[in-house]
Structure 1
């Protein structure tokens, strides 16, 4: 769970020096002519602290929008762009204190949106209205390689979603039959399909915390349900009187999610951002051992996030090979290093438990992940230039 995905032609911020800053969650001044027109004026500045989220303008033209998110607080932060119904249009995660990250997002449809910072990566975030202007949707990319990448990735997401539903159906049946050992064995396998497509799967409002929310969601006023509630039942508390009901709700939620996933229309930047977001998921949840805190099957999730990230890059590869061959070579080298290291922790068809890793093991995984992630982070900038 969010989880959580360079410089193209920049957003024009008309009269940037004179713009009044607008705080997320409050009234602000609307800037004119913001939005990716190639004028070189620079990205929209976002300053995130532990208590505030300040965005330099609350309007931009439809198309590719660039935000520069600076974390001036003491907690890890995230920045989101939401459409109606809390659908995630784009997000940048794992913005550590003192760090600035450029975030490219394609918002094709004019209309009303929201921006949000999430200090500590929890809650609904500090939100504000954001308007995307234009008389018509922004044109989609004309680049044939990018079109093929999106089509290929959407087919792959569909296949993973189908497998997620099939495996969840099996898992729920085992839980309801009281077959604890078999349910434990299937648990990390079933979840791997979610983890591979998490940037797409988590974009549909409350379905993400309902399916994948950790116990922390109780502090946010939500019920603890889904896979992690059943994980706790299986590994810690034993099956409870309401475990069957939790399992039934999980299957219903996953069924709804899969239907929505089949209808989503992606764009090239979502592939690039999603690839990086999956690596941020590893950094903030898997490599820390927080995600699977009861089963300690975090390395299954680690591999699945890694595979999902690589799949998005693989679909973009023909385009990237033409536009940024040196970057492709660096991604290949660091990706191979990370994959080879991960394989050293394999145990049969799965992996050793995360509690078996030493601090040295975790540091090695973190360093290899950082090297790969640094290269993947550059992909969005290459894609956004088209």
Structure 2
């Protein structure tokens, strides 16, 4: 019952996330993300702040002997005020022409005809099939690890540990949201710190592929260091936040570059919903694998080891996602060129 409820809450959260990303997509008229966009900064702050607030609340639930399952429901609930604030901060003073529902559906289906976008969607689905259960089961994993190896966690409480990991991840996200786009832009233009290199037209798909690979490695470091070294475990959250933030912005930039102007909102908003639907059963599947490894034992240490082994044995899943990410190099330039041609043709048609 809990897993079903959690899945429904996750689905609602993703619907809210889609609405927010649609609002964000409407702010961009070109094929790039502005380096300093106040509205984008406000949106990112809203989402990050509510995510950070959810962590200590969830920790307090657990420390007060409430079921840890209640803790993982905090973030979906807090997505509602994040959506409300985002609507307020991103609301445009100009009246917008609302497309016909059939036009919206046509654009949403049309984005799957773009090879780069389809490859990226498949890559993200494969990654989230692993990352979703990984994040979901990390809470009981920490609890089992703290019970079995209290000395590893330096005597810190569960609330302190979860707050530390979230804060470190948040700091990493702030750093990554600036550093990764900056380096990608400089590599793409051959300027600044990359002035000694020739401009790289494939900088964005390269950034996507390598970011996916580093994120895949961070999963392995996180699961292995959980019962061995707390500082390394903490550092893995910084790396995950750093790469995750940079990867998110890189994905947005790629979508804006490879899609025509009339399909950009669809390209940005359709993917999260498709990924959520595709990955809904993943937590249950990983739980079944863990249960088969654990057998009939109910000891905490056996729960811990079974979950660890599950994520180690299935680590090839995100690795496959990284390999798929590099396939973007094959189609990216062609899709960018085609998007520009479509935009130019529509501009000519609209010119009297």
TM-score after normalising by structure 2: 0.31
**Structure number having the greater strand percentage:** 1
